[in-house]
Chain A
Amino acid sequence: MATTIPTSAFIATPHRCSTGRSSAIWVQKAQFSASSSSLGVSLSLKRPSLRLVSVRCEANGAGMPVIPAEERWMYEESEINGPDIWNKTWYPKAADHVNTEKTWYIVDASDKILGRMASTIANYIRGKNLATYTPSVDMGAYVIVINAEKVAVSGQKRSQKLYRRHSGRPGGMKIETFDQLQKRIPERIVEHAVRGMLPKGRLGRTLFTHLKVYKGSEHPHQAQKPIPLPIRDKRIQFVKK
């Protein structure tokens, strides 16, 4: 694989111990918690539940035992050298998506445009912001929404946007405006919006259960220590004219 990017051996192969020459100067952002010595293929500190091989000389027994040469024949290639990352696309194992180790995010919905907020939430719930995104596996995070009754919509949607549901019987269509539904069950507005943006199917339904919407600013998930959801959409804040 030829590349014109000068390699300071930062693309490490599992077979060789490569030391990343460059140091922490490349790490510009505080969020990258990689320790300055472990550049190259390393056990990722940012994602504790990823079970990946580390370069053997760096690992020091952290999951990759050294196998003496006489016993090499007993083991499979992947047990000796670690998984073949260049020929097999990574697929998560059960330990990589344990629900108890997932991040929890919190969003305050007051004066946020409904659709834009729902879109970011759906992305995080689905796990589309992660390098480890897999469509068939639930890799996403949990999201808590508070102050759901204060969510905003632009234009005339407050009185014109209709929420429909059907009881199944003829003539059983019930229609409500945004306003009426917000007075009745404000959580349903955010849930409806996010559900429409999540995939529909078995996995989508379990993803939807990772969304927790609350009226008011109290939520019972303090023990999960939710962090504020990073929102990059610049037009998400509702501006009254």
Chain B
Amino acid sequence: MTRVRRGYIARRRRKKNSSLVSGFKGAHSRHTRTINQQTIRALFYSYRDRGRKKRYFRRLWITRINAVTRENQIFDSYSQFIHNLYKKQSFLNRKILSQIEISNNIGLSKISYKIIKPNKVNEERLK
């Protein structure tokens, strides 16, 4: 049999993966076998973490809102604040709330006052 070289077939196939792992440390972005393994991991993690990203950010927003709510001391905690928000049937979500509180000094306290004030007024009337 004549000697058959496979040519560039394997290289072309592997080159597709190497863009996915560019920037990985050491052999993980250089050696073909580890590149193969690392692309599998990278794709797996990106698939899984697209769902987790949503969780992480919601967690971050909640922590930030909690921090500011406790500082403002209008409500005792994030849970009280959200409970009152829901009672007022507001549709403000946590992402917006946390961005308001970062970009605006008193945005969240203004919202808190608008939520809490009517209740206090009612309590005084009932007395």
Contacts of A29 in B (CB 8 A): 72, 109
Q: Is the CB of B105 within 8 A of A32?
A: yes
**Known: A4-B88, A133-B63. Contact between A26 and B104, CB under 8 A?**
no
Q: Which of B89, B95, B104, B115 has the most chain A CB atoms inside 10 A of its CB?
A: B104
Distance of A40 Cα from B64 Cα, bound (Å): 19
Q: Is the CB of B103 within 8 A of A41?
A: yes
Count residues of B near A (Cβ-Cβ below 8 Å). Answer: 35
For residue A173, CB closer than 8 A to chain B, the reply is: no
Distance of A20 Cα from B69 Cα, bound (Å): 21
- CB within 8 Å: A-B pair count: 96
Q: Is the CB of B91 within 8 A of A89?
A: no
Distance of A176 Cα from B105 Cα, bound (Å): 48
Q: Is the CB of A44 within 8 A of B110?
A: no
Q: Is the CB of A90 within 8 A of B114?
A: no
Q: Is the CB of B102 within 8 A of A52?
A: yes
**Which chain B residues numbered 85 to 111 have a C-beta less than 8 Å away from chain A?**
88-93, 95-96, 98-111
Per-position 1/0 for A11-47, Cβ under 8 A of B? 1100000000010001111001110000111101110
**Known: A129-B67, A131-B68, A135-B60. Contact between A5 and B102, CB under 8 A?**
no
List the interface of chain B (C-beta within 8 A of A).
57, 60-61, 63-64, 67-68, 70-72, 88-93, 95-96, 98-111, 113-115
